Structure 1
């Protein structure tokens, strides 16, 4: 994964960090003291850089923003960038263990824990990603509808022959309940329906573990799983796997940005509400919300929200 992250950062370096010509208005919940600065010069020294955390799929974004905000090289920024998983990152911010998140939506379980802590958070959507479904190249199925996917994960459909594939049982992988991709799966696809309980071997702990498992499963052509688009398209892609169309639309940066792909969700910039106006975290927040910050995200391969 480290090599994938660094590759994204090297592409960013080659592209540069020029600001966009049109000014981007601040998010609705951005206080006046946090109006985005438009300078492309470093805004923080490496020693003053705040503690940044978030979701695994946002690691390249975190490193790219650090490089642009501090003037560090991509290699230096990548070496200094780590993150917890999505639920742990949310809790770390609420508990004061980190200063700023670039993160996917919290699960309902995590939201309840955050409510119990009670620290008010400023949550600003900054971009889009998508829930995507993966199969092995040996599977002849190229797309499924949302209804078919829901039927598979509730157990109403158990054989690939029922959705245009070969006569083989569907090995439907899931993620742990509090993971970021599982939260998106429940929100965007399952909604008010409960998926069947997946056996341990079909519920890998890590995002990369799910991709590996689908590629290496004994009957790999029978496996089905899901992740977020950026992770499998830039960070942890693997030969021999294919993304499925959903409702006839292929997932891509263009269909995610336009909203044509049906299973999209926002990711967030999050700080504590009591963050001092001139703190490093507040300065970094303003930088991320600026045209320059948006450009950094785009050049790193992410999909910022449309203006």
Structure 2
């Protein structure tokens, strides 16, 4: 059985806006906040070469994108995680298929702290204890005698669900954790609070500090090889096998040109493409 995976697709304009030229085709995309800026860049560059195709791109989270796909409101859902069993069941019951997932890039789920924080590495067990509220003071980790402020994305975030699955497992997030709707809000909160910590996909030009996990940094080779503990794929989900303009667009994303943009945006391309 094929599993649905979605990756954020980037739009030509600000999230929720559209750029419509003299086109015959409009492709609506919604989903992962991690992928939204990437999707905007990809669709912008694609439309330069294919002016008869326009895009409407929104974020909102992987879960929100999947809901819109099932409701037939969009053509592509971007996702930073696999579909949950109940989501697969919903798609199957409504459409008689589990849909099609296309991996377009790799990403690192990174741990962010304020730049004033001297800590450079945490173990997986320490992460479990921090984000579940069992370690509540930075002094327990060799920093200041101050409360740890845990910041999270909201429940629609695929990144949140993946972190819980890979790191917390049976544990629950701390009741004191504060949630934010977007990655931009999350990053801004950590920038302003010396005693905060969060996680998200790799953020290009972040003003926060990324720390290692088990002394492994999220470098290109570590992420692509899977050596970094929290490596993941980013996906495009469609209800059926891509065809027509959607297939042409996805094929372009997987081409040398598209994968080069993925590298430029701070993610990790699937292939070692080189452009002449």
Query: Which TM class, normalised by the smaller chain length?
Result: 0.7 to 0.9
**1 CA distance for matches of 2:142 and 2:118?**
8
Query: Aligned residue pairs: how many?
Result: 247
* Superposed CA RMSD: 2.9
Name the SS for the 1:124 alignment partner: strand
TM-score by length of structure 2 reads 0.77
1:131 aligns with 2:96: no
Structure having greater relative contact order (Cα 8 Å, sep ≥ 6):
1
Whether the 8 Å CA contact 1:144–1:248 is kept in 2: the answer is: yes
Q: Does 1:170 find its partner at 2:143?
A: no
1:35 aligns with: none
**What does 1:123-202 correspond to in 2, within 5 Å?**
123-199=101-177, 202=178
Deviation at 1:141? 1.4
Q: Post-superposition shift, 1:263? A: 1.0
Secondary structure class of the residue paired with 2:198: strand
Query: In 2 relative to 1, CA 138–84 (structure 1 residues): closer, same or farther, beyond 3 Å?
Result: closer
Which residue among 225, 235, 239 is the counterpart of 1:272? 239
Structure 2 contact 108–230 (Cα < 8 Å) conserved: yes
Select the residue among 223, 242, 245 that pairs with 2:212. 245
Give unpaired runs (5+ residues) of structure 1: 7-44
Contact kept in structure 2, 1:91 and 1:114, CA below 8 Å:
no
Report which of the two structures shows the higher radius of gyration computed on alpha carbons.
1
Instruction: Name the CA shift for 1:81/1:305 in 2 (closer, same or farther; >3 Å).
Output: same
SS in 2 for 1:82: strand
Preserved contact between residue 160 and residue 166 of structure 1 (Cα < 8 Å): yes
User: How far off is 1:80 after superposition?
Assistant: 5.5
2:59 is paired with a residue whose SS is: coil
TM-superposition CA deviations, 1:122-175 (whole Å, max 9, x none)? 012222111111111222212111111111122322221222212222112222
SS at match of 1:304: coil
Asked whether 1:83 is paired with 2:55, we answer no
Q: 1:213 to 1:192 in 2, by over 3 A?
A: same
TM-score scaled to structure 1, two decimals?
0.70
Q: CA shift at 1:274, angstroms? A: 5.8
8 Å Cα contact 1:87/1:180 also seen in 2: yes
Contact 1:130 1:228 in 2 (8 A): yes
In structure 2, stretches of 5+ residues that fail to align are 1-10, 13-21
Residues 188 and 252 of structure 1: CA distance in aligned 2, closer, same or farther (over 3 Å): same
Matching of residue 116 in structure 1 with residue 85 in structure 2: no
1:93 corresponds to: 69
- Once the two structures are superposed, residues 105-124 of structure 1 have per-residue CA deviations (whole angstroms, 9 ceiling, x without a partner) of 1564xx52452243331012
- Counterparts of 1:228 and 1:71 in 2: how far apart (Å)? 28
More helix by share: 1
Q: Does 1:215 align with 2:181?
A: no
What is the deviation of 1:98?
1.0
